[in-house]
Amino acid sequence: MSMKLGFVVAEFNRDLTYQMELLGKEHAQFLGADVVEVILVPGVYDMPIAIKKLCSRDDIDAVVTLGMVIEGSTDHDEIVVQHASRKIMDLSLEFNKPVSFGVAGPGMTRMEAHQRVDYAKRAVESAVKLLKRL
């Protein structure tokens, strides 16, 4: 089974999301999946429109989201993740395609974010497992 993945990667905290992108691509290859498109978006909140674009393509079987939402001095991080995650789930159901949630946060420090870069592998694995099982 040839599995074609699309990645949506947040540019915010790009030093971390770049590492996530590289790890995700490497893990996809290890699992026998091809990453056919990567769309960079400004931040996690901006992901849904790019996910929708990828989900509407016939040559993409699943979408992997990658992002880091680091805690600030307000509740902004919680609002971003709550609303983005809900819409991401909605898009998965709307298009009947796996859309994995590889976004770390909210409520984490920059140090914790560095420790969670490998969440990218989990997100890729989730998309691939779901594709195989559906």
Contact indicator for 133, 98 with CB cutoff of 8 Å: no
Maximum alpha-carbon separation in the chain = 46
Answer yes or no: is 7 a known binding residue: no
45 annotated to bind ligand = yes
Token readout for 107 is 């409520």
To the question of whether residue 92 is assigned a binding role by annotation, the answer is: no
Q: Is 70 a known ligand-binding residue?
A: yes
User: Is the CB of residue 66 less than 8 Å from the CB of residue 9?
Assistant: yes
Do the annotations mark residue 74 as ligand-binding? Answer: yes
Q: For the packed helices 14-30 and 119-133, what is the interaxial angle rounded to 10 degrees?
A: 40
Does 81 show up as a binding residue in the annotation?
no
Out of 27, 76, 83, 114, the active site residue is 76
On whether 119 is known to bind a ligand per the annotation, the reply is: no
The CB density around residue 114, as the number of other CB atoms within 10 Å, is 13
Q: Which residue is listed with tokens 């016939």?
A: 58
Q: Which residue is associated with the tokens 């680091």?
A: 70
User: Is residue 83 annotated as a catalytic residue, yes or no?
Assistant: no
3 annotated as a binding-site residue: no
Catalytic residues: 76
Q: Which residues are annotated as a binding site for (2S)-2-hydroxy-3-oxobutyl phosphate?
A: 73-74, 110
Q: Which residues are annotated as a binding site?
A: 12, 44-46, 68-70, 73-74, 101, 110
Q: Which residues are annotated as a binding site for 5-amino-6-(D-ribitylamino)uracil?
A: 12, 44-46, 68-70, 101
